[in-house]
Chain A
């Protein structure tokens, strides 16, 4: 079945850029039916959608983060990636990647998540 796995540094310094990659297995990221998304969850708090991308490169971003976010896709590696610039402690969170069904605007399935801490 489809699986997603996040990878990247667990510690990022303030003002630097957070970079994560999501590797998709058990299915093609180039499927015409789906987008792919990033969601984050600060420790002990709720969920926040960051953005989503289609295999063609078309993107949607959360307006609250848009100025700092770049999501890209590499179909040859069946991966998509997140870059979040100028991070602060408020960006400390578990970052999840997920498949995004555009016609329903729902996320399923999700990766296991990776904790990124912003600290000097």
Chain B
């Protein structure tokens, strides 16, 4: 099975900051990676699929990049509503697996 590792596990940032989260797969997954946002007490929400494709309705300040084993999620200018936990998920093969999450906190 493919394992997903995210870093950092948490990051403190201010409104307007640029935030980058990294996800690494234990083996190559081409561009088959998704990113989700989860706010406390809520279900995850799909942000990005196929590494860099923005889900409909997701603000353009979110972007994804990478291929193979290394991927990044970037928030270009952090907004108050972006404070949440972010998860990557490999979408290359069964079983789909999630990273451990990165919590974006207010500095």
Chain A residues within 8 Å of B, Cβ to Cβ: 46-49, 60, 62-64, 96, 98, 104-113
Q: Secondary structure at chain B's binding surface: helix, strand, loop or mixed?
A: loop
Considering only CB atoms, which chain B residue lies closest to A47 in the complex? B98
Chain B residues within 8 Å of A, Cβ to Cβ: 1, 32, 34, 36, 42-46, 49-50, 55, 87, 89, 91-101
Q: Are A111 and B43 in contact (CB under 8 A)?
A: yes
Alpha-carbon distance A113/B91, docked complex (angstroms): 22
Q: Are B49 and A104 in contact (CB under 8 A)?
A: yes
Complex interface: chain A residues within 8 A of B49 (CB): 104, 106
For A46, give its contact among B42, B92, B100 (CB under 8 Å).
Answer: B100
Complex interface: chain A residues within 8 A of B98 (CB): 46-49
Alpha-carbon distance A47/B49, docked complex (angstroms): 17
Q: Are B50 and A47 in contact (CB under 8 A)?
A: no
- A40 → chain B closest CB, angstroms: 11
Alpha-carbon distance A111/B45, docked complex (angstroms): 10
Considering only CB atoms, which chain A residue lies closest to B42 in the complex? A112
Q: Are B91 and A104 in contact (CB under 8 A)?
A: yes
Complex interface: chain A residues within 8 A of B1 (CB): 63
- A112 → chain B closest CB, angstroms: 6
Q: Are B50 and A62 in contact (CB under 8 A)?
A: no
Alpha-carbon distance A50/B82, docked complex (angstroms): 28
Complex interface: chain B residues within 8 A of A46 (CB): 87, 98-101
Considering only CB atoms, which chain A residue lies closest to B6 in the complex? A46
Q: Are A104 and B50 in contact (CB under 8 A)?
A: yes
Q: Are A107 and B46 in contact (CB under 8 A)?
A: yes
Q: Are B43 and A106 in contact (CB under 8 A)?
A: no
Complex interface: chain A residues within 8 A of B34 (CB): 104-106
Considering only CB atoms, which chain A residue lies closest to B94 in the complex? A60
Q: Are A49 and B91 in contact (CB under 8 A)?
A: no
Complex interface: chain A residues within 8 A of B36 (CB): 107
- A selection of 8 A-B contacts at a CB cut-off of 8 Å is A47-B87, A49-B95, A49-B97, A105-B92, A106-B49, A107-B36, A109-B45, A111-B43
